[in-house]
Amino acid sequence: MLENSAQRLGCTMAVGALLSSCGGGGSGSSTPPPPPPPPPVTSNLMRASAPSSFAAGCNGTPQTGTNFTNAEVEPYLVVNPANPTNIIGAWQQDRWSNGGAQGLNMGASFDGGHTWTITSAPFSSCSGGNAANGGDFERATDPWLAASPDGAVYALSLSFSGAVLQPGSSSAMLVARSVDGGVTWSSPITLIRDGDQFFNDKGSIAADPDDAHFVYAVWDRLTPANSGPAWFARTIDGGATWEAARPIFGLGTGNQTIGSQIAVLPGGTLVNIFTEIDVAAGGSVSTSLLAIRSTDHGASWGAPVTVAQVLSIGTIDPQTGANVRDGSDLASVAVDRSGTLYVVWQDARFASGAHDGIVLAQSTDGGLTWGAPVRVNTQANAAAFTPTVHVRDDGVIGVTYYDFRSNTSDATTLLTDYWLATSTDGLNFTESHVSGPFDLDRAPIADGLFLGDYQGLASVGAEFRPFFVATTAAGAANPTDVFIAFGPSP
């Protein structure tokens, strides 16, 4: 069911007789004016992103669509376990309206996130990709990071050219490696590269926290026949080589996976959690979260276990009905030091289907069985969306998300806040304000108002580090920035 996937992924896809444009886009040949000075930040909020360094026309071929210069979206964050003051972020830089971005930027900080060095890996033409280094793609999207215990950092990109599944298009999952804390990046290794018969989508990457030899990547591989099995690749030698990619969970025509994320349990067992979208003979669609396990570092995988049914309805502007592109149909996954797994997602079950909230389910037996979902967000009467979960070393669970509790009846604005809810048991949550309200109506448009299909969250000691996108007061010249939040965490 590519429609659901299309609305959430790095490429905006419209499904008709064929999937339409994902890989094109352009804002014309004129050079945009320089952005105005960025808005001030508070003492507990720091900007990580910077104005774009990508030149107009850096894609190398004419593009279609609207390019939102200086729009950063969809960030991810990791802390270097070999040096906790070293934090590495990644995000889409200069988002396109019809899919992907000019490239992916990385940010490296060596003081816990207070100052940043902006870098990039050659995942697209705009960031130095070419045929010689394997990064010869028009656009890049879906940034994901993983850090190994030896300090090596891995970045995963979905890189693509052309319109999804259209003649002449191509897509790939690329991995780059940094051994200096994210300051410089290797040429990418291609895990898979396909032409127009497949589209590789929505990847994630995970490192074994105890053994630097093992790093795992997983994604879905879509076909024109509306199927999308989960695919997998691994390195067992610390990134020197990667094994050939292969499917690890398949579905029939008209059904697909999306949003696979691997959690590595203590001892090395892998749990891949993903969304399954099923289409019945009559055309009805059901969506569930599933988990599959591997006890041999991904060499083989067991049968799926159902985590929960997904009852999300998506997010809209309550005044205008305009679509907000959010993280519905996607989950966020974390595991603590004891091996307890936590999964969060958008779901309307606690609002009688009126709007989405944030729910969490947990497993204390390595993903074999799961408890009933519980509500995380405290304001039941306000739509909440795009959750991210992380567990600190002391076992405290953190969940971040956006909501509309500050919104007013003014149809010209969509006031939005960012929140952190914490818990020691996964059942009871205390909420704290991270940022906002800001006006979501100022966000770039990519199948709706778009901040990202996911956001970042990590921790340093006893502090969570939310890593997220918010709109700015600068308008179209600088629609969004990536921020990191500091301060005592509940």
Q: What is the three-class DSSP state of 300?
A: coil
Amino acid at 349: R
* Candidate CATH numbers 3.40.50.11720, 2.120.10.10, 2.30.31.10, 3.30.70.1400; the one for domain 2-24+45-52+63-485: 2.120.10.10
Q: How far is CA 249 from CA 178, 216, 328, 454, in A?
A: 30, 15, 21, 23
C-alpha closest to that of 107 among 374, 465, 488, 475? 465
CA 31/CA 22 separation, integer angstroms? 24
First to last CA, the chain: 40
What global pTM score does this model have? Answer: 0.92
**Confidence at residue 197, expressed as pLDDT on a 0 to 100 scale:** 93
Q: Could you state, in order of their start, the residue ranges of all structural domains in the chain?
A: 2-24+45-52+63-485
Annotate 431-455 with b (16+ C-beta within 10 A) or e (fewer).
Answer: beebbbbbbbbbbbbbbbbbbbbbb
The CA-CA-CA angle for residues 342, 344, 349, to 5°, reads 125
Residues of the chain with pLDDT under 70: 1-43, 488-490
CA 158/CA 322 separation, integer angstroms? 28
The H or E element spanning position 436 is strand 430-439
CB 186 within 8 A of CB 177: yes
**Confidence at residue 52, expressed as pLDDT on a 0 to 100 scale:** 97
**Confidence at residue 253, expressed as pLDDT on a 0 to 100 scale:** 79
C-alpha closest to that of 307 among 378, 247, 361, 377? 361
C-alpha closest to that of 340 among 359, 312, 360? 360
CA 326/CA 238 separation, integer angstroms? 34
